[in-house]
Amino acid sequence: MTGDDENTLDQTIELRGSVLDLRAAIIDAGGDGSVDVIPLGGHDALIRFYGDVRLELDLALLTKIDVSIWAGFEGGGLAYAIGTQDGIGSPRGLESGYSLALDPIGYANVGLLDEPLEVHAYHRIGRRTKTTLMRRASSGSLVLYQDV
């Protein structure tokens, strides 16, 4: 990944779990962004992906990993809505410093990842972001795109 931390909104895709599980689950990561690994003690870590990034994760291994979108601090909190092929849901709020937990396995089990699932966010400072989740049926992986 390449990118300038100074010019990037601090919203991130977050992965949390044991270091071994995180390493096994991440198939590929790239884009115009950066990554931060935060040790949590023991064998656990938190990984934050900043910027316009693309992650490919082994969907089957996400039973052991928490996946979320962290609102960051710089955006002043945000309003978000989840969009599917059927439309966009009701907006909800997320304060600065908090995370929106995602459930990719649950979404896949009910068919929500058969088409792209999008999380649209509008930050209080006026910035719009989008995180897209897609299941790649051929490989059994989850692909996440973060556009900040």
Q: So what's the pLDDT on residue 2?
A: 53
Q: So what's the pLDDT on residue 6?
A: 56
Inter-CA distances, 10 with 31, 34, 49, 73, 86, Å: 15, 11, 9, 7, 30
Of the pLDDT bands very low, low, confident and very high (cuts 50, 70, 90), residue 3 is: low
State how far the Cα of 54 lies from the Cα of 28, in Å rounded to an integer. Answer: 8
**pTM, two decimal places:** 0.90
Q: Which residue has the higher pLDDT, 55 or 3?
A: 55
User: What are the φ and ψ backbone dihedral angles of 109, each rounded to 5 degrees?
Assistant: -65, -30
Structure tokens at 120: 């649209």
Express each pLDDT in 132-146 by its tens digit: 999 998 888 999 999
Is residue 59 helix, strand or coil? helix
Express each pLDDT in 55-89 by its tens digit: 999 999 999 999 999 999 988 899 999 998 889 99
Inter-CA distances, 67 with 21, 88, 125, 146, Å: 13, 21, 25, 13
Nearest to 75 by CA among 144, 12, 2: 12
Q: Which helix (H) or strand (E) holds 35?
A: strand 26-41
Q: Which helix (H) or strand (E) holds 24?
A: helix 19-25
Say which amino acid occupies 71: A
* pLDDT at residue 131 tops 90: yes
* pLDDT at residue 8 tops 60: no
Express each pLDDT in 10-38 by its tens digit: 899 999 999 999 999 999 999 999 999 99
